[in-house]
Structure 1
């Protein structure tokens, strides 16, 4: 199955981590990759390292904020794409967190994502993709799409990101 967690609200990564935990609880083999995110910054990364070992990868450089950062970010994204392709035949589930952010930022191409989807389907590997702005073609292709909608966020009231909540 192809599962997509999208929308402008909080919870896309959290839902993806939860899906991975659920699969692990059923003795499924899970690989988890994160686009954009630097390794060892967020609480879920520490846990995923412990649970998954080499089946967890976060090769990112943070979020893309300046055009001159693009080549470095693209190289990190390519590394994750190749890592994912190598793991698909050997796992029951592959989670690619922030894949849609990488797609909308042109750090990965539609063709690369479509190739991963085809590989996942051909290998009976569940593929979980997260990030804002899921394109219509992906919504059409996916088996399950969940949209997180922000109703209220403490950041808008001036409260900064909180350890254990945002990271």
Structure 2
């Protein structure tokens, strides 16, 4: 199945982490990747690395703020996508592509590269989780499950900065 957690609300990565833990708890092989987050940036990475070891990858270099580092961001996104393909071809039960929709929206990954990943996962019988904002129609059509996380209220709108342990 193709599972998508999208929307403008907080909790997409948290939902993907929960999905991964559920599958792992049943003894299934799980791989978890993050496209934009650099290693040691977010709290969930500590737990995922302990749990999944080499089957966890934070493949990004951090926030994409402008095009000055576009080539490096694109290179890291392609390396992360290649890592995902390796896990899919190794018959993992569940592979998470956290923030892949952001990478697509920023043109760090191309539509064709994502389509090929979806088709590969389906051909190999691997469950693939995608997260991020900006769900394109082609993924919506291929997805088996889509959950939209909607922001109703967020402290950022009051000028409150991100809190360690809550937002990252």
TM-score, structure 1 as length reference: 0.98
Alignment of 1:11-160 (within 5 A): 11-90=11-90, 91-160=92-161
2: CA distance between counterparts of 1:100 and 1:39?
19
1: CA distance between counterparts of 2:89 and 2:23?
16
Aligned residue for 1:162, secondary structure, equals coil
1: CA distance between counterparts of 2:145 and 2:22?
16
Kindly provide the CA deviation profile for residues 41-96 of structure 1, in whole angstroms up to 9, marking residues without a partner as x. Answer: 11100000000011001121112111111001001001101111111122100000
2:4 paired residue number: 4
Aligned residue for 1:31, secondary structure, equals strand
2: CA distance between counterparts of 1:69 and 1:114?
25
**Structure 2: runs of 5+ lacking an equivalent:** none
**Structure 1: runs of 5+ lacking an equivalent:** none
1:166 paired residue number: 167
Aligned residues: 167
Report the more deviating stretch, 1-10 or 87-96: 87-96
Report the RMSD for the aligned CA atoms in angstroms. Answer: 0.7
Q: CA deviation at 1:164?
A: 0.8
**Runs ≥4 residues deviating over 3 A:** none
